């Protein structure tokens, strides 16, 4: 079993949020970031799939629908490795609290739904330690779907899992794909010590719980910035 950053003796801590699109996880991690910034803590926020260099290849692959489950998995692993080695790792060495909107579990869930062998995917990502805390925002499938389908009716090809051929109707494909992702997340929940959050609750109720749990687990005062 992989170790966490704390177990490996890193001065920094990594907190990850995971969940389906529309589970409200990004809102929650944003509020955690603001909470920490306002306390002048050394905090850094990182999003899945945001590195500049690999983005070019990813979007080319996506727009031309060139990606297979294997190359989809590998290009995202490349992207993650780039972000991990150049950004997350140095920050964690420097004693930052790093907040990740999605971490390796997103890859585990997506790639496995696409048919990649779980051991293979996990083996590839085993250069990355586990988060010190992982919040999983569990909303009912209908709630997640409605949030996404109401707000942003134009679904993207891969996001809707169209490559899986579950349905030729993109909305239906999205529903089925999200359902399968949810199964994957729930199956990982115990193994990786997810803190399961009831994402059907109000934003404030969830944030109160998240803040309380973080403050109980991490000595926040030790992360006060001494530079500006």
Give the interface with another protein as residue ranges (CB under 8 A): 53-54, 56-57, 60-61, 66-71, 74-75, 77-78, 81-82, 84-86, 114-117, 119-120, 123-124, 126-127
Contact assessment for residue 23 and residue 144, using Cβ atoms and an 8 Å cutoff: yes
Alpha helices in the chain (DSSP H): 25-38, 52-63, 69-83, 89-93, 104-113, 118-124, 141-151, 170-189, 203-217
CA nearest 131: which of 212, 203, 37, 46?
46
Instruction: Please list, in sequence order, all residues whose beta carbon lies within 8 angstroms of the beta carbon of residue 214, skipping any fewer than 6 positions away.
Output: 15, 32, 133, 220
CA angle 212, 218, 223 (to 5 degrees): 115
Q: How far apart are CA 146 and CA 123, in angstroms?
A: 35
Residue closer to another protein, measured from CB, 28 or 58:
58
Residue closer to another protein, measured from CB, 66 or 208:
66
> Residue 169 CB, nearest distance to another protein (Å)?
23
Residue closer to another protein, measured from CB, 33 or 114:
114
> Residue 71 CB, nearest distance to another protein (Å)?
5
> Residue 142 CB, nearest distance to another protein (Å)?
30
Q: How far apart are CA 192 and CA 136, in angstroms?
A: 11
Residue closer to another protein, measured from CB, 63 or 225:
63
> Residue 23 CB, nearest distance to another protein (Å)?
27
> Residue 159 CB, nearest distance to another protein (Å)?
19
Residue closer to another protein, measured from CB, 119 or 204:
119
């Amino acid at each position: 079993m992989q170790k966490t950053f704390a177990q490996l003796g890193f001065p920094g801590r990594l907190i990850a949020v995971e969940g389906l699109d529309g589970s409200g996880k990004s809102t929650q991690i944003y509020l955690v970031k603001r909470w920490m910034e306002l306390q002048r803590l050394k905090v850094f926020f990182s999003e899945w799939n945001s590195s500049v260099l690999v983005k070019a290849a990813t979007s080319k692959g996506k727009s031309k629908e060139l990606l297979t489950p294997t190359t989809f998995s590998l290009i995202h692993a490349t992207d993650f490795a780039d972000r991990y080695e150049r950004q997350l790792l140095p920050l964690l060495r420097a004693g930052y609290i790093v907040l990740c909107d999605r971490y390796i579990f997103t890859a585990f869930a997506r790639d496995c739904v696409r048919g990649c062998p779980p051991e293979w995917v996990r083996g590839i990502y085993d250069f990355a330690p586990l988060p010190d805390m992982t919040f999983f925002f569990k909303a009912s499938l209908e709630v997640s779907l409605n949030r996404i389908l109401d707000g942003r009716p134009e679904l993207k090809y891969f996001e809707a899992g169209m490559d899986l051929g579950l349905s030729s109707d993109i909305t239906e494909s999205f529903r089925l794909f999200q359902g399968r992702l949810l199964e994957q997340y729930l199956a990982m929940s115990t193994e990786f010590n997810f803190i399961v959050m009831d994402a059907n609750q109000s934003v404030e109720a969830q944030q109160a719980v998240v803040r309380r749990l973080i403050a109980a687990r991490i000595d926040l005062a030790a992360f006060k910035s001494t530079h500006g």
